[in-house]
Amino acid sequence: MTLTTLLAAAALTLALAAGVALLLPRHVTVERSALIDAAPDAVIALASSTDGFQRFNPYLTSDPNLRIDPFGPSSGIGAGFRFEGREGRGTQTIARITESTVTYAIDLGAMGQPTQHISATPEGDQTRVTWRVTSDLGMNPVFRVFGLFMDRMLGGTYETGLANIARAAT
């Protein structure tokens, strides 16, 4: 086999792999929920405050040296924080608040801008708290492959966050 043939075969293989990767889902959602013994409004109050969020932030559980720098108001729309730690850096800002859901805009720079939601709805005498993130992986084939592993990578973190909310909201 000549070098030209080998290079052409490698280029074709790479192009096929990228094409296949682009057939993977562009949008990925990771979601976890738990029933907790707290009122929905107590959960929403925690989630809609920068200080409140830090009381259950699962990334602080896994990285006690995580640097948090608040900005904007202390609570409500526009409240947020910059973070930098061993799992990455970026910003999280409260973008929307309803009676049952707080929505956060997250900016991870080149890694994307996922949207995160924490919802609290009554279920019997408890509250169903749901933590969900949605990501648009765009046209980057590497991100699309990465998307296949997001549930496994983030699911445990959100389960920790839900356990932290259960402790912080009671």
Task: Judge whether residue 142 has pLDDT over 50.
Answer: yes
Mean pLDDT of 89-114: 96
| 13, part of any domain | no
Total structural domains within the chain: 1
| 150, part of any domain | yes
Task: Judge whether residue 23 has pLDDT over 50.
Answer: yes
Domain of residue 64: give its range: 26-168
Mean pLDDT of 61-80: 96
| 4, part of any domain | no
**DSSP labels, 106-145:** EE-GGG---EEEEEEEEETTEEEEEEEEEEE-TT-HHHHH
Contacts of 119 (CB under 8 A, 6+ apart): 100, 101, 102, 128, 129, 130, 132
| 110, part of any domain | yes
DSSP bridge pairs for 123 = 126
Contacts of 164 (CB under 8 A, 6+ apart): 55, 56, 57, 58, 61
| 8, part of any domain | no
| 83, part of any domain | yes
* Continuous segment of H or E residues that includes residue 71: strand 67-71
pLDDT band at 130 (very low <50, low <70, confident <90, very high): very high
pLDDT band at 17 (very low <50, low <70, confident <90, very high): very low
CATH code where residue 159 lies: 3.30.530.20
Residue 94 contacts residue 106 (beta carbons within 8 Å): no
Task: Judge whether residue 81 has pLDDT over 90.
Answer: yes
Average pLDDT over all residues of the chain: 89
pLDDT at residue number 18: 44
Quickly count: other Cβ atoms within 10 Å of residue 151's Cβ.
15
| 7, part of any domain | no
Mean pLDDT of 6-35: 65
Quickly count: other Cβ atoms within 10 Å of residue 72's Cβ.
14
Rg (C-alpha) for the chain, rounded Å, is 20
Mean pLDDT of 88-98: 97
pLDDT at residue number 67: 97
Mean pLDDT of 70-92: 97
Q: How far is CA 126 from CA 34, 50, 56, 151, in A?
A: 10, 24, 18, 26
| 3, part of any domain | no
Task: Judge whether residue 16 has pLDDT over 50.
Answer: no
